[in-house]
Amino acid sequence: MRDQFGRQIRYLRISVTDRCNLRCTYCMPEEGLDWIPKPEMLSYEEIADIVRQMAAMGLGRVRITGGEPLIRRDLPRLIELLSAIGGIDDISLSTNAILLPRFADALKDAGVGRLNISLDTLRRDRFEEIARRPARRFDETMEGIAAAEAAGFDPIKINCVVMRGFNDDEVADFAAVTRDRPWHVRFIELMPVGRNLHLTDRFISADEVLRRIEAIEDLKPDAGPLGNGPAQYYRHPGAPGTVGVITPLSHNYCERCNRMRLTADGKLRTCLFGDHEVDLRGPLRDSGSIEASVEQALAGKPKRHYLQLGSASNSGGLLALSQVGG
């Protein structure tokens, strides 16, 4: 699959739900959003059908995300369906880890190769403020990460959205953890969308985070974990883990973009922050074929995103990243 600018597209991020068991301040409003009605959601069979048709067109990698994907019933069943599709050689999952003690082994057995886990603080007392759920959820998150390690997931990437005055004083603490544990911690810039503009003054650029990382003694530039995507990494000599930054806002990666996104209600979005989206659910339910709609989406994939700090006007109408999976 190639888009109108010749970029090869072989990666699909699939949101399986827009709901979540946390309310991270930068992501979802405390009262939640208008959830997608159940009949409008793609079934697991429909998702697998879409992936099967795209695999025939050249798709090779998928990532399952949300909302929180593990709150959707029996997610390992979807993974099994996707694992059986020829041509799909990489299945990964983004999760807040809370339900991993229950599902880590089943996900591994079903075919999830790699996990990205969100963790914005190492301090239990801060969790309630950032995730707006009781601190015991922090304990469950840590148990979830331990369960992922015990199930043999490697690498484990930890995504940390850095916000001034919330958690930006924890950069060195996260780096210290990577000396002993095989975590690949990626500090991510806060991205502005409709419901988080009140956090604009919390934005801290990846360059600033990089300066803090580079001030930590002994850290050396490193290639980072396999499947590292758009990130820059550093490692303590001999350490099992790394730290790095992802800079969607200050430096974008659009030139090398190889991805598309599928929302839980079957819209194919070719850019996280573009307003261009093509419905796949209608054609799938009407005629069974989505090929023409995928071609149409590829032809309209924008050259780059135009997101700007402090404004949601170029966010493609997004209220929260939980609506498309981040």
What does the binding site for ligand SAM look like in residue numbers (CB under 6 A)?
Answer: 20, 26-27, 65-66, 68, 94-96, 118, 159, 161, 188, 190-191, 193, 196, 321-322, 325-326
Give CA 300 to chain center in angstroms.
Answer: 23
Question: Considering CB distances under 5 to 8 angstroms, the limit depending on partner class, which of ligand SAM, ligand SF4, none binds residue 188?
Answer: ligand SAM
Sheet containing 61-65: give its strands across. Answer: 220-222, 232-235, 242-246, 183-188, 156-161, 114-118, 90-95, 61-65, 11-15, 259-262, 267-269, 277-279
Residue 6 burial by Cβ neighbours in a 10 Å radius (0-12, 13-18, 19+):
exposed
According to DSSP, the residues that pair with 244 across neighbouring strands are: 186, 233
> What contacts 169, CB < 8 A, 6 or more positions away?
none
Question: Considering CB distances under 5 to 8 angstroms, the limit depending on partner class, which of ligand SAM, ligand SF4, none binds residue 159?
Answer: ligand SAM
Shortest Å, Cβ 245 to ligand SAM: 12
Shortest Å, Cβ 158 to ligand SAM: 9
Shortest Å, Cβ 188 to ligand SAM: 5
Other Cβ atoms closer than 10 A to 203: 19
Among 269, 263, 276, residue whose Cα is nearest residue 15: 263
- The residues of the shown chain that bind ligand SF4, judged by CB under 6 A, are 20, 22-24, 27-28, 66-68, 96, 118, 322
Question: Considering CB distances under 5 to 8 angstroms, the limit depending on partner class, which of ligand SAM, ligand SF4, none binds residue 325?
Answer: ligand SAM
Question: Considering CB distances under 5 to 8 angstroms, the limit depending on partner class, which of ligand SAM, ligand SF4, none binds residue 23?
Answer: ligand SF4
Question: Considering CB distances under 5 to 8 angstroms, the limit depending on partner class, which of ligand SF4, ligand SAM, none binds residue 312?
Answer: none
The position carrying tokens 């059986």 is 84
Shortest Å, Cβ 179 to ligand SAM: 23
According to DSSP, the residues that pair with 118 across neighbouring strands are: 159
Shortest Å, Cβ 183 to ligand SF4: 17
Residue closer to ligand SF4, measured from CB, 73 or 238: 73
